Amino acid sequence: MSDTFGTLLKLTIFGESHGRAIGAVLTGLPAGLPVDMDRLEQDMDRRRAKGRISTQRHEPDQVQVLSGVFEGRTAGTAVTLMIENKVQRPADYDQLKYRLRPGHADLAAFARYNGCQDYRGGGHFSGRITAGLVAAGSICRQVLANHGIQIASHIEQLHKIRDRDFDFAHLDEDIALAQSLEFGVLDPQKSADMHSLIEEAASQGDSVGGVLETVVTGLPAGIGDPFFDSVESELAHLLFSVPAVKGVSFGDGFALARLYGSQANDPIIPDPALPGGIITATNRNGGLNGGLTNGMPVIIHTAVKPTPSIYKVQDSVDFLTGKAVKLQITGRHDPCIIHRARIVIESAVAFGLLDLLMVRDAQLKLGQDAGVPMMDTRDRFDTNLAREHESGDAAARSETAISPTADQARKEQA
């Protein structure tokens, strides 16, 4: 069983839904990074159950820092974060020890662990375990924010109701709006409609799911690796580890399959006003090409299935008798989790990106130690252009071939 993920930065999660405590351990963080516990508490609050559209299991989720943080900064050792379970009701699950809940991990877990797993509330398979991920992810988000990298999500779709998309012409404003919203829907009317739909599903003993759209800004170009360690591979690995996530795509995702290449390609254009000086006119590929960031906002879509714990009568099997039974779940459950999952998805993305950035920084440091000069994208194009002029290779290029790399003044200088 793998509870640890990461390359240079490693995350370990622990605990069960109705055990004594849950939590996370972060190893690999450099010493001296500021840790704002008030900001961490704000992130934990975004995950808490509130109101009629969430479970009535209201855990306080107070994070105890057992190690790795001293006087408000990382100490360079393992950061251990623990959250005590305060309002367990394991008796709610007595009837479920041998009766398998449809949509849950019960059947698969029974087969994997020979019936020895903690079945109460899903045990280690429960979404409750993501509280530790949020606590660890908050620290990662703070590190990224200090480097100008922002992460925000909104509920793009809930059941059949769609929110408006992020407005990329005013992305900073939309990011600030999304981060300020408790429910996470940009269009106020759609937000009200979604609330009503969740309440309707709850009144019928049912549940609903949806899709989250996540955007990341401020990432430099060149993060990641091709093939097995691509940005998509790393982030998808993390996102699919979040309970209830059943789909992950980047940019326009599956919609790209319906386009011609001329439509799917993002035209590359110069923009001297921006760092690097080169952008794409569109962002259908979600800021990623070849497994690497290209400097544009990274766009991620995450599909979250309806909560499997519903109050309707369902068909199941009694493991002791092998006979079919009718099962009706009791206890405290969410009619929808997508609004609480926003911060979980953002936390997973933050951890993954910080790990990727640390890997890149380590690689760049090795190159720097070997005498490789540090240049931004624009400088690299200009340097290569100058080399071609010196060697005579530039004469073979057409004006249109070199014009995207630099403006006229920079070409003349080269």
279: left (phi over 0), alpha (psi -120 to 50) or beta: beta
List, in sequence order, every beta strand (DSSP E) within 33-106.
63-67, 69-70, 73-74, 79-84
Residues 358, 8 contacting (CB under 8 angstroms):
yes
Spatial CA neighbour of 381 closest among 338, 410, 346: 410
How far separated are the first and last CA of the chain, in Å rounded? 56
Token readout for 116 is 């020895």
Residue stretches of the annotated binding site for NADP(+): 47, 52
Annotation: binding site for FMN: 124-126, 290, 305-309, 332
CA-based nearest residue to 340, from 82, 132, 130: 130
Report the binding-site residues: 47, 52, 124-126, 290, 305-309, 332
**What backbone phi and psi angles, to 5 degrees, belong to 194?**
-70, -40
Of 1, 220, 36, nearest to 124 by C-alpha is 1
- Please tell me the number of Cα atoms within 13 Å of 4 on its side-chain side: 8
171 Cα distance to chain centroid: 18
H or E element that contains 115? none
